[in-house]
Structure 1
Amino acid sequence: MQYQSTILASREYTFSQMLRESVPMCGGLFVPCELPRIDQAFLAKLKPLSVQDRAAVIVKLFAPELSESQINLICQTAFDPMRFQSDLIYEIKPLNPYLMNPLFLFVEHGPTSCYTDITHAFSLACLQTVIKEDEKWYIVAGESIQSIKSLVALNSGDSGWEPVLIADSKAVNNYILREIQHIQNNVNENVDRLMLYTINGKVQSVEYFPQNLFYQEKLRLELKEQNKYLAAVGSLAFTHYLALLIILLSAYLDLLNKELISDGEDFDLAFPNLNLDFLYVGQLMQKMGLPVSNLIAASNNNRTMVDFLHKGKNKAKRKFSRTNTPALDRIYFLNLERVLFEITDYDCQMTCQIMNDLFRAERINLTPEIKQRISGLVYSGYANNNQTVEQIRDWYIKTDYLFDPYTALTLFVLERFEQNISKANKTILPVIESPLLSAQVSAEAIFAQENIVKRNYNRLLEELSQESGVAIPLAALSAEQKPEVVNLDIDKMNERIQADLFKTGFN
């Protein structure tokens, strides 16, 4: 198994080399040169195994040069039940015996009650196999507030790396800052100081900023001279998707064991669009031979990816609003070029050209052939704020289960999809975070308006928890203090972060 950049096929990397470079300095993102095929015999071998042992077998496919002990350490560390709020790393099930579809995949059992707890833990466990004793690593998280929270929760202060936390200033407020500080106070006793970089600038430029750090070859080479290195968690890192692939494949095996899905039976995958995370993993699963029939992607009313997936067009200059699903409030999607790489059948030149068009002309117009491939790949739709709240309310009345707004939005789009087909498959739907991370939205859905207005945030959390039976997540609670914040315009932030990286005692 070898890896390459999405825009350059001439150089290949082992899994370990990919980990050390994290994001290719030459541009693009890391992808496998080819994918392993999975057959029924392989699945039968995995069925009786634990999650950790299944993960080890899958990791071996993608990292053949790693030793058995290295792979086992990765899987035991990343999927250690002690990291999670229950003995289950994930859980897949129908909500009750009368609603057998969709099949909900709960992946929000980690310390901050979000799926990035799992993916970040896996990426860092992989990275630990290549970190040398005398090296200093800086781990960049910048695609969402929740990604930042997950990384803070994993920072023990003695692991050989430090976080570089980057956010759009418009996405940060005092509540969020105190929530981040609360996580550090409760999880990271060895960390004395936390810094958050908040950037002022055009939405797309701010979204691209963390990725662009990795393309600054001069910076990275000069850091290397000081034995310092950059690595990414989240959508920039291929290990993020390998973790999701492991969880989805393991969940599928659980469904087979429970006889909720038959061997070889087609199933669908419905998901919130995020950074095209689940769309890309769905592509990988299809190409590896798993019976994934339909991919159903849900967006909010910013509709950036809906327009792209429906029309093959994407404009950087577009109307943009903040919604009750903020992780979807994006114009630029970090993982777009991996999706394009798969759609174009590994065509580096075409992938590079499309991405260049997006950044230089600030728009994409795909060829009719590629548009047709996209339309055949995924069904996409969107829900606005009111429709999302109504879904939360309807499902709470129907099932007594409180869903987060991302799951509600996906359920809305899934219902529209099922109205247009003659026969619905079983559908796996990831539940990516606790509903109490969106307490205001949850309260709007299930409480009378006058009860919301009269309550402060902490009281609202308590009442939501009492009403729904959902425990208050660590990431929803606030400290009295806030982390140190460096707020600069985008043209000055790059210089500031570089200067801080070269300091001996950064963070």
Structure 2
Amino acid sequence: MEKKYQSTRNETINYSASQAILAGLSPDGGLFVLPNLDDVNLDVSTVLDKDYQEIAALVLNQFFNEFSESDIKKCVKEAYTHTFSDEKITPLKKVGDDFVLELFHGPTCSFKDVALSLLPKLVNLSAKTQNNTNKRLILTATSGDTGKAALEGFKNDPLVDIIVYYPNNGVSTIQEKQMQTQDGDNVAVVSINGNFDDAQSNVKRLFHDEELVALLKDHDIEFSSANSVNIGRLIPQVVYYFVSYAELVNTGEIKLGEKVDYIVPTGNFGNILAGYYAQQMGVPINKLICASNENNVLYDFLKTGEYDTNREFKKTSSPSMDILISSNLERMLFHLSGGDAKYVADLMNQLKTTGKFKISDELLKTIQCTFETGYATDKEVAEQIDKVYNEKGYLLDPHTAVASYVLENSPEKKEKTVILSTASPYKFVQEVSKDIPKLEIDSAQDEFKLIDELEEKTTVYAPKQLKDLKELPILHDEVIDIEQMKDIIIKQVGE
């Protein structure tokens, strides 16, 4: 039977997979979810002898059975053939007693590549399935990595235009350069005077702006999203939990069925939610550990049950996690409240009107059965980057260092633990160079000189696509106020 997706806020809103992927957000502002995760199952023992593409096809078939198996295999093949620098796509490295799942070997050196290499294929397949010939206008808010990965995935697609908004002075120099130099005849990149939460909340609002929706309709255009609010962005991230678990079994590190902990640097809650989906499907996961930076709203929530965004927004050394409103938390609340859409809608309304909400003690206990949490300050992150390099010869980016620190300072654990490494350290080369004093690198110099020097002194490979940024022209340098985000869309549609 074809699986239907419903809104987290209204059980009467039901879409097919293709409709949900094209829409991105539900009309009521909710996120699309499978109402019952018992409907998706994949026995880990059946994937042990399979490669990344084969496992990806099996996972996607479970969630998106509206599509034929052959169509899904075609999408997967196009997404992952000769597009990643490591043939394993997401290689698992042993670092000391723990394991690091490297998710940064794609075209833009971020974990977002794993899903955003596949999402454009799923969007086009969905349009074909719906006999929908309208053009898509993809609005994307980014805290640094999603923007470039989405731009790269959708560039020059004749059926898509894409606009990316990012916070001015809120991403790393390399992240900004990646977006500012983006080529393609269907892309627009704009920085806003505000933070990521400003960008994300306004993108969500613009999705439902009646004037814009009418304008787009007149031009046969529909909105869609490349953020993890889109179910087509989220589900591909489930795959690497299966892949990494199979790798642990195949290398003899664990026995089949043995439970593993996963620790995830977390901002928007999508990556860790994918782990929850993997656990519900059948991956033997003990705990999912949410690692936060100084914007530790999720840490407080998972400890107390109160989600409160009424606090100072901090710019940290891990900018992709500088988020106070974590969109995918809404999906988790839906699933762990037993699919209570009315309750979730009430919580989200409280968040919108007061900036906070508090869940019941019973629901908090249910959440804590699966999710643990910890956080790291910028000072602790810097010390962890230095420590891990000096003791283990492994180079961490600041986001992965948050997770590494939280793991090292967690209570004694019996289970093997996998750290999700979300970005190449060279995307944050100024911070990483500064944090390892014994390398004696002047972190004030040009970032491209830093890349060369860090590579030379550590012998850790620097991705060619980051080095090549130096020679690329700046194509996008517009800075706007938040109120002008709508004007950018009107201008794009009019061209």
TM-score, length-scaled by structure 1 = 0.90
| Structure 1 residue 77: Cα displacement | 1.5
Structural RMSD (CA): 2.4
Paired residue type of 1:349: K
Is 1:410 aligned to 2:403, yes or no?
A: yes
Q: Is the Cα–Cα contact under 8 Å of residues 108 and 115 in structure 1 kept in the other structure?
A: yes
SS of alignment partner, residue 234 of structure 1: coil
Query: For each residue in 1:174-217, what CA deviation from the matched residue of structure 2 results, as whole angstroms up to 9, or x when unmatched?
Result: 765433244x3xxx4xx258532222347643331122222335
Cα distance in structure 2, aligned partners of 1:128 and 1:480: 29
| Structure 1 residue 259: Cα displacement | 2.2
Which residue pairs with 2:330 in the alignment? 337
- Which of the residues 104, 108, 123 maps onto 1:127? 123
Query: For each residue in 1:221-269, what CA deviation from the matched residue of structure 2 results, as whole angstroms up to 9, or x when unmatched?
Result: 5423422122211321112221110121122122222222211111111
Q: Is the Cα–Cα contact under 8 Å of residues 434 and 443 in structure 2 kept in the other structure?
A: no
* Cα 1:433–1:355 shift into 2, 3 Å: same
Which residue pairs with 2:44 in the alignment? 43
Paired residue type of 2:52: V
Cα distance in structure 1, aligned partners of 2:261 and 2:297: 23
- Which of the residues 34, 37, 40 maps onto 2:36? 34
Q: Is the Cα–Cα contact under 8 Å of residues 172 and 319 in structure 2 kept in the other structure?
A: no
Cα distance in structure 2, aligned partners of 1:400 and 1:218: 55
Which residue pairs with 1:180 in the alignment? 179
Which residue pairs with 1:164 in the alignment? 163
| Structure 1 residue 453: Cα displacement | 5.0
Cα distance in structure 2, aligned partners of 1:282 and 1:486: 37
- Which of the residues 191, 203, 217 maps onto 1:224? 217
Query: For each residue in 1:340-385, what CA deviation from the matched residue of structure 2 results, as whole angstroms up to 9, or x when unmatched?
Result: 1122121101111111111101121222222323333321111111
SS of alignment partner, residue 152 of structure 1: helix
| Structure 1 residue 52: Cα displacement | 1.2
SS of alignment partner, residue 164 of structure 2: strand
| Structure 1 residue 114: Cα displacement | 0.6
Cα distance in structure 2, aligned partners of 1:262 and 1:471: 32
Which residue pairs with 2:83 in the alignment? 83
Is 1:375 aligned to 2:368, yes or no?
A: yes
Q: What does 1:65-144 align with in structure 2 at a 5 Å threshold?
A: 65-80=66-81, 82-95=82-95, 99=96, 101-132=97-128, 134-144=133-143
Q: Is the Cα–Cα contact under 8 Å of residues 178 and 479 in structure 1 kept in the other structure?
A: no
Paired residue type of 2:27: M
Query: For each residue in 1:366-417, what CA deviation from the matched residue of structure 2 results, as whole angstroms up to 9, or x when unmatched?
Result: 2222232333332111111111111111111111111111111111111222
Which residue pairs with 2:483 in the alignment? 491
Which residue pairs with 1:58 in the alignment? 59
SS of alignment partner, residue 433 of structure 1: coil
Which residue pairs with 1:457 in the alignment? 447
Which residue pairs with 1:149 in the alignment? 148
Q: Is the Cα–Cα contact under 8 Å of residues 178 and 483 in structure 1 kept in the other structure?
A: no
SS of alignment partner, residue 369 of structure 2: helix
| Structure 1 residue 110: Cα displacement | 0.5
Q: How many residues align?
A: 488
Runs (5+) with no aligned partner, structure 1? none
Is 1:311 aligned to 2:307, yes or no?
A: no
TM-score, length-scaled by structure 2 = 0.92
Paired residue type of 1:328: M
Cα distance in structure 2, aligned partners of 1:67 and 1:165: 32
Runs (5+) with no aligned partner, structure 2? none
Paired residue type of 1:83: T
Cα distance in structure 2, aligned partners of 1:73 and 1:67: 10
Q: What does 1:383-402 align with in structure 2 at a 5 Å threshold?
A: 383-402=376-395
Q: Is the Cα–Cα contact under 8 Å of residues 245 and 285 in structure 1 kept in the other structure?
A: yes
Cα distance in structure 1, aligned partners of 2:175 and 2:62: 39
Q: Is the Cα–Cα contact under 8 Å of residues 2 and 12 in structure 1 kept in the other structure?
A: yes
Q: Is the Cα–Cα contact under 8 Å of residues 24 and 215 in structure 1 kept in the other structure?
A: no
* Cα 1:194–1:177 shift into 2, 3 Å: farther
SS of alignment partner, residue 491 of structure 1: helix
* Cα 1:64–1:305 shift into 2, 3 Å: same
Is 1:444 aligned to 2:434, yes or no?
A: yes
